[in-house]
C-alpha cells in the first residue's frame, strides 16, 4: 500500500502540522470538515501546502517521523522549495 506525507497550515508561515495517510484526498477532506484531529481542528489547519508520495506506507511513516523531528526552519524550507507561495494544493490532489 502506498502512502503520503502531507503538511497543513492555517496561513502562509503559520502553524505547521505534518501527517501521513494512505488516502490523501479523504484525509484532507476530513481535516477540512473538522474530523482530522484535535490539534488541526483547534488551529483551523486546512491549507494543504506540501505532499510527498511514497511507494509504501511504511516509508511514508518513517519520513513523517523524520520531518516532525526537524526544526521549524527546515520544515519551512521544505514547503517553500515545493510551494513558494504556500498555495493550497487541495484542488490539485482532488481534481
Q: For residue 19, what are the domain limits?
A: 3-94
The per-residue pLDDT for range 19-64, each reduced to its tens digit, is: 999 999 999 999 999 898 899 999 999 999 999 999 999 999 999 9
- Domains: count for the chain: 1
Dist. CA 16–CA 21, nearest whole Å:
16
What CATH number is associated with residue 53? Answer: 3.40.1440.10
The model carries a pTM of: 0.95
Amino acid at each position: 500500500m502506498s502512502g503520503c506525507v502531507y503538511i497543513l497550515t492555517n496561513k502562509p508561515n503559520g502553524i505547521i502540522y505534518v501527517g501521513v495517510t494512505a488516502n490523501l484526498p479523504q484525509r484532507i477532506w476530513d481535516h477540512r470538515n473538522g474530523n482530522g484531529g484535535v490539534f488541526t481542528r483547534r488551529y483551523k489547519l486546512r491549507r494543504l501546502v506540501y505532499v510527498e508520495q511514497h511507494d509504501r506506507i511504511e516509508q511514508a511513516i518513517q519520513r513523517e517521523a523524520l520531518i516532525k523531528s526537524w526544526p521549524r526552519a527546515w520544515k519551512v524550507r521544505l514547503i517553500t522549495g515545493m510551494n513558494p507561495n504556500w498555495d493550497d494544493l487541495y484542488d490539485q490532489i482532488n481534481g
